[in-house]
Amino acid sequence: MAKKNPHLDPNTFRDSLGTVRDDGKRNWVYPKKVSGIFYRYRTYLSWLLLAILFAGPFITVEGRPWLLFNIFERKFIIFGAVFWPQDTHLLIFLLLILFVFIILFTVVFGRVWCGWACPQTLFMEMVFRKIEYLIEGDANQQRKLNEAPWNSEKIWKKGLKITVFGLISLAIGHLVMAYLIGVEQVLDIVTQPPSAHMAGFMGLVAFSGIFMFIFTWFREQACIVVCPYGRLQGVFLDNNSINVMYDYVRGEPRGPIRKNQIETNPKGDCVDCNLCVQVCPTGIDIRNGIQMECVNCTACIDVCDEVMVKVDRPKGLIRYASENSVKEGFQKLITGRVKAYSVVLVLLVVGFIALIATRDELSATVTRFPGMTYQMRDNGTVSNLYQIILINKTFESQTVDLQSLAPGMDVEILGDQVWVLEPQSKLEGRFFLVQDQQEVLTPQQKVKLSLRHEGQEIDEINTSFMAPVAEK
Ligand code: SF4
Ligand code: SF4
């Protein structure tokens, strides 16, 4: 016999998770298939967003990817703009902007993102769930199939489902890798033996396995247990935030109605059909109020609207609304919080634009060569060895050289006398600073170097020079 789910009890629902039974086991959610206007629009939007998501790594601008999140080399390309490790402050700024924007958006519109655009929901509800309905049928048929012994029908259906889920997980794993290392590298990995790209191959296997696990078994737990955004809702939302809401003013007292009883036994509009619970992919009862588990998927709106039409009541018993609009009958969108977040967001955007406009196109980092102090030379000079990391953030190749601004000190670049940087590239070079020992006045002196491009100084670099002072 199915165990009672304490989460659906209006007296105890805040004490437990909708997906955990009172015996502590997972309450597997079998959401009933839903149809309706919101579901239709969500389906159309999901096609568009999935198309963009899969096309993303293939979009290039002047031969470079439009989006790349190469965490391994710490190189990021966002909408065509390249960010190097030296641009970490810009990325932090960008993340702050994103964070404040998300807060602002959530304060006003609740979890619209979760229901309509989050990749987890898109794949789970619009891809994997639809395939599951196609192969195993609606909620009741799925439940029966899971409880049935392993006969040929069950083996066939489960086998087919796992195969299709596996193939899609492989596609998503490759997609994620393409965002991380680029399409060409992924192509190299899949067209060459695993031993040629062991790390990349392991990455593909790991990501595909993770997605298989998430969409086959973990499912709504990703939103309820793992996603930090979901868990922060209690902080973001207030009584003016718009959410999927049950209109308890209109709906209560709930109970089944018969047309000829309406006059003698008036009830609220909720006919207690429980369909809003049966379609919910996170296994909650929206009539208990706003809950952390609700991903605002709108399934309960669609199904309740259908019920309302059947019992000849106005649609919208469950709808997008705020607590205040249900309780007090008014909706205030521009609150003090919204104004404050908007001001912070504008300031951050202005700051970010200013930083982008003034960032160096060529950057250099000079460090002393590790483990070495100075070298005495036969000709009476003394030298220090340095390494330099040059980054060309432009889309043209650049030739740079280095000059010392300290009197009597020369720069000897190892190899050629200049460094040639390809567009959007990083180069590691080495050079000596050399001084006649007779001119050394202090064992450690501060030195300024001039990084030059086509005879023009583009950066001034500070370092130090170590040498023994000559005995007089
Ligand atoms: S679907 Fe609507 S009418 Fe049915 S139980 Fe839910 S809120 Fe009540
Ligand atoms: S309560 Fe409604 S909107 Fe929220 S997750 Fe469940 S079905 Fe979706």
The predicted-structure confidence for 448-472, as pLDDT tens digits, reads as follows 999 998 888 888 999 999 999 887 6
Q: Identify the pLDDT of residue 213.
A: 97
For residues 52-68, give the mean pLDDT: 88
- Domain 362-466 fold is Immunoglobulin-like (2.60.40)
Between 265-269, 331-335, 369-373, the lowest mean confidence (pLDDT) is in 265-269
CB 385 within 8 A of CB 43: no
Give start-end residues of each CATH 2.60.40.10 domain in the chain: 362-466
Cα dist from 335 to 238, 241, 319, whole Å: 10, 10, 21
Which of 99-103, 125-129, 378-382 reaches the highest mean pLDDT?
Answer: 125-129
Hey, what are 230's tokens?
A: 């979901």
Total length of the chain: 472
The percentage of residues in the chain with a pLDDT greater than 90, rounded to a whole number, is 60
Q: For residue 198, give the 3-state DSSP assignment.
A: helix
Highest mean pLDDT among 138-142, 266-270, 364-368: 138-142
Is residue 3's pLDDT more than 60?
no
Whether 216 contacts 162, CB under 8 Å: yes
Residue-wise pLDDT tens digits, 397-440:
889 999 999 989 999 998 877 899 888 788 899 999 999 999 99
Interval between CA 10 and ligand 2 midpoint (Å): 16
Positive or negative, the CA dihedral 260, 265, 271, 272 is: negative
Of the listed ranges 177-191, 296-310, 357-371, the one predicted with least confidence: 357-371
Among the listed ranges 128-142, 191-205, 279-293, 330-344, which one has the minimum average pLDDT value?
Answer: 330-344
Closest CA to 315 of 323, 327, 305: 305
Residue nearest to atom 5 of ligand 2 (CA): 294
At 63 the pLDDT is 77
Q: Copy the structure tokens of residue 244.
A: 């999927």
CA 214 to chain centre: 16
Q: Determine the distance separating the centroid of ligand 2 and the alpha carbon of 107, expressed in angstroms.
A: 18
Amino acid at position 208, single letter: S
State which of 34, 244, 275, 318 you would mutate to test the pocket of ligand 1, scoring each by most atoms of that ligand within 8 A of its C-beta.
275
Task: Provide the mean pLDDT of the chain.
Answer: 89
**Ligand (nearest to CA of 39):** 2
pLDDT tens figures, 165-176: 999 999 999 999
Pick from 391, 416, 387, 382: nearest CA to 401:
416
- Give dist(CA 428, CA 388) in Å, integer: 6
Taking the CA of residue 32 as centre, how many other CA atoms within 13 Å lie in the half-sphere pointing to its CB?
Answer: 14
Count Cβ atoms within 10 A of the Cβ of residue 389 and give its class: 0-12 exposed, 13-18 middle, 19 or more buried. Answer: middle
Mean predicted confidence (pLDDT) in 349-371: 87
Give the atom of ligand 1 at the shortest distance from the alpha carbon of 277: 6
What mean pLDDT is predicted for residues 233-256? 89
pLDDT band at 266 (very low <50, low <70, confident <90, very high): low
How far is residue 395's CA from residue 362's CA, in Å, rounded to a whole number?
11
Alpha-carbon gap, residue 253 to 269, rounded angstroms: 8
Cβ(306)–Cβ(167) under 8 Å?
no
CA gyration radius, the chain: 32
pLDDT over threshold 70, residue 260:
no
- DSSP one-letter code for 126: I
**Which residues contact residue 33 at a Cβ distance below 8 angstroms, ignoring those fewer than 6 apart?**
133, 138, 139, 279
Ligand located closest to 115 CA: 2
Q: What is the pLDDT of residues 151-163, one digit of tens each?
A: 999 999 999 999 9
Rounded distance from Cα 68 to ligand 2 centre (Å): 34
> Rounded distance, CA 76 to CA 201, Å?
21
Res. 317: pLDDT tops 80: yes
Burial 7-29 (b: 16+ CB within 10 A, else e): bbeeeebeebbbbbbeeeeebeb
Distance CA 376, CA 437 (A): 9
User: Given this model, what pLDDT does residue 259 score?
Assistant: 60
For 45, what's the count of Cα atoms within 13 Å in the CB-facing half-sphere? Answer: 17
Can you state the angle between helices 152-181 and 129-136, rounded to 10 degrees?
Answer: 160
Residue type, 436: D
Tens digits of residue pLDDT in 4-29: 555 566 666 666 777 887 777 888 99
As for ligand 2, residues whose beta carbon falls within 6 Å of it are 244, 279-282, 284, 286, 294-300
Ligand 1 center from residue 253 Cα (angstroms): 12
Q: What is the pLDDT of residue 2?
A: 44
**3-state SS, residue 148:** coil
End-to-end CA distance of the chain: 99
Q: Give strand pairing partners of 187.
A: none
Is pLDDT at 121 greater than 50 in this prediction?
Answer: yes
